[in-house]
Amino acid sequence: MGIELYEMNIDDYDAIYQLWESSDNIGLSKADSLFGIEKFLERNPGMSFVAWDGDTIAGTALCGHDGRRGYIHHLMVHPDYRRQGLGRSLVGRCMYALTRVGIQKCHLFIFEDNEDGTAFWESLGWTQRVELTMMSQYLD
């Protein structure tokens, strides 16, 4: 059958979340609840993608924008499907979706100790921004 990429659909949520949970390099929070992801997908239609190999989820990319900048969250390729170009394909679809709506720059967040992830993004031409510090505050 082969791997097929589709626009992410909230009906895929359980499989997507299970894939994300399997990685130490994806930080999950309340924002990743079914409700949170559903809101994200509604606000950013046609920007996030999932890869399926038959009934097996092979990868995901959650992508959106704030009107100025794009963001990629939770790019994840199942270990059995890595080094086959799937991550590159998911990123390419996200970048195309962003440019289609006029977004000219994209950011992502990656854990500092995720050496494989950093190497992957650098291989795609992404640049680490060492002059920035991320700050957060919970609103609940």
In the prediction, which pLDDT does 1 show? 61
Q: What is the pLDDT of residues 10-30, one digit of tens each?
A: 999 999 999 999 999 999 999
For residues 26 and 76, the answer to whether their CB atoms sit within 8 Å is: yes
Q: Give the structural domain span for 111.
A: 3-123
Residue 131 domain-assigned?
A: no
Q: Which residues of 90-127 are buried (b: 16+ CB within 10 A; e: fewer)?
A: bbebbbebbeeeebeebebeeeeeeeebeebbeeeebe
pTM: 0.93
In the prediction, which pLDDT does 140 show? 75
The alpha carbon dihedral of 135, 119, 13, 47 has a sign of: positive
Q: What is the pLDDT of residues 66-116, one digit of tens each?
A: 999 999 999 999 999 999 999 999 999 999 999 999 999 999 999 999 999
Question: Whose CA is closest to 63, among 109, 4, 121?
Answer: 109
Task: Please report, for the domain that includes residue 84, its CATH number.
Answer: 3.40.630.30
Residue 81 domain-assigned?
A: yes
Residue 135 domain-assigned?
A: no
